[in-house]
């Protein structure tokens, strides 16, 4: 943007000078130049800015809610160490309950080193180390927080404006589900949920639900279509039961938080995105380490890790994640 602006202003100055200088005397040329430079200064004063590139940093979004007033909520940005010749796509990673941005960054880059060198990677911090879904410590508006981060980062010249991936683990994955349900931002293209299918507040068996004030989930939602989603769940998970039902420990109103079966959850997302089948598909690719369920030519994917529990997300391979994102022109 900055180079284009400089080229445009220089061309404007030269072309006008050439035409006007042919019409005035030598003594009048300084006056013409002064007028043109004044015009260019006026354009700058109207708010046309030079290019600005995103760099590694910690930045903040200020929010107010019942627990805080004008509270600076941090997010951590990590850019590749080597200079890139073209704009980078954004990945946001949401940590689990009790996690931190730096802990999430360490795990993510260890598991997926390719993305550290080819993407702009962002790690937001959940208030009180949690994301507000049902009964967490945080009561913040996390949907507005995540959308504000994305809107801000898409302003930078070295960031792709039309393509954002959001990944979450556990409680962070529940937040990704809620983002998929409620956000109408078309720039969000890919969503990856590690060890958290839909809970029964987010989908009541008939409709997706908006969280709403006080986490009431009283209003039906219509998720934006055209998105791609991958879920990874462990068949031995007791915290978030693979076959659905109440969690062993996660609280909810009047008891424990209940989840939809992982395969059913993915099927509902596939239907929402245009799949016309009436029942969940059978595994299309199975081996000892994983079972793969695919819908809509791979736009919606569920991966079952047979012998793993709530740590199943750590068994997602870099190749599998790259292949999934590659389906949207990684």
Q: What's the pLDDT band for 47 if we cut at 50, 70, 90? A: very low
Tokens (6 digits) for 144: 């507005």
pLDDT value of residue 2: 46
pLDDT value of residue 327: 65
**Nearest-5° Cα angle at 87, 84 to 90:** 110
Judged by average pLDDT, the poorest of 112-116, 176-180, 311-315, 325-329 is 325-329
Q: What's the pLDDT band for 287 if we cut at 50, 70, 90? A: confident
Is the pLDDT confidence value at 37 over 70? no
Alpha carbon distance 95, 127 (integer Å): 11
CA distances, 50 to each of 35, 42, 135, 161 (Å): 22, 15, 45, 17
pLDDT value of residue 325: 96
Alpha carbon distance 233, 315 (integer Å): 10
Is the pLDDT confidence value at 329 over 60? no
Handedness of CA 242, 183, 150, 132 (dihedral sign): negative
CA distances, 18 to each of 8, 33, 263 (Å): 15, 11, 69
Is the pLDDT confidence value at 3 over 50? no
Is the pLDDT confidence value at 108 over 80? yes
Tokens (6 digits) for 239: 């915290």
If you average pLDDT over residues 29-56, what whole number do you get? 51
If you average pLDDT over residues 243-271, what whole number do you get? 96
pLDDT value of residue 303: 98
Describe the strand order of the beta sheet including 188-194 as a list of residue ranges. 57-65, 68-78, 120-124, 88-94, 159-169, 188-194, 228-234, 300-305, 291-295, 285-286
If you average pLDDT over residues 26-30, what whole number do you get? 43
How many other CB atoms are found less than 10 A from the CB of residue 311? 15
If you average pLDDT over residues 87-110, what whole number do you get? 98
If you average pLDDT over residues 188-198, what whole number do you get? 98
Q: What's the pLDDT band for 64 if we cut at 50, 70, 90? A: very high
Alpha carbon distance 247, 249 (integer Å): 5
**Nearest-5° Cα angle at 126, 124 to 132:** 130
Alpha carbon distance 123, 105 (integer Å): 7
If you average pLDDT over residues 295-314, what whole number do you get? 97
- Cβ neighbours for 42, distance < 8 A, ≥ 6 positions apart: none
133 phi/psi in degrees, rounded to 5:
-115, -55
pLDDT value of residue 26: 36
State the chain's mean pLDDT as an integer: 87
Judged by average pLDDT, the poorest of 28-32, 37-41, 165-169, 253-257 is 37-41
pLDDT value of residue 314: 97
């Amino acid at each position: 943007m900055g180079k284009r602006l400089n080229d445009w202003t220089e061309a404007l100055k030269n072309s006008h000078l050439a035409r006007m200088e042919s019409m005035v005397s030598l003594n009048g040329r300084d006056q013409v130049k002064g007028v043109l430079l004044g015009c260019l200064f006026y354009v700058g004063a109207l708010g046309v800015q030079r290019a600005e590139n995103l760099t590694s940093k910690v930045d903040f979004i200020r929010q107010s809610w019942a627990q805080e007033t004008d509270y600076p909520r941090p997010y951590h940005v990590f850019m590749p160490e080597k200079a890139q010749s073209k704009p980078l796509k954004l990945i946001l990673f949401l940590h689990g309950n009790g996690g931190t941005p730096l802990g999430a960054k360490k795990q993510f880059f260890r598991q997926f080193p390719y993305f550290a060198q080819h993407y702009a990677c962002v790690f937001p911090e959940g208030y009180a180390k949690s994301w507000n879904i049902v009964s967490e410590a945080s009561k913040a508006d996390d949907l507005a927080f995540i959308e504000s981060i994305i809107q801000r980062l898409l302003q930078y010249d070295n960031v792709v404006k039309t393509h954002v991936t959001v990944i979450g683990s556990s409680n962070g994955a529940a937040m990704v589900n809620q983002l998929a349900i409620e956000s109408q931002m078309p720039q969000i293209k890919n969503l990856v949920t590690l060890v958290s299918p839909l809970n029964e507040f987010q989908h009541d068996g008939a409709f997706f639900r908006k969280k709403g004030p006080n986490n009431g989930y009283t209003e039906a939602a219509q998720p934006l279509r055209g998105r791609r989603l991958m879920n990874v769940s462990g068949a031995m998970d007791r915290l978030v039961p693979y076959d659905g039902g109440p969690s062993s420990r996660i609280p909810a109103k009047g008891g424990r938080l209940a989840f939809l079966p992982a395969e059913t959850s993915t099927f509902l997302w596939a239907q929402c995105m245009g799949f016309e089948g009436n029942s969940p598909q059978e595994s299309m690719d199975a081996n000892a380490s994983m079972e793969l369920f695919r819908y809509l030519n791979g736009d919606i994917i569920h991966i079952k890790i047979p012998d793993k529990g709530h740590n199943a997300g750590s068994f997602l391979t870099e190749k599998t994640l790259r292949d999934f994102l590659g389906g949207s022109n990684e």
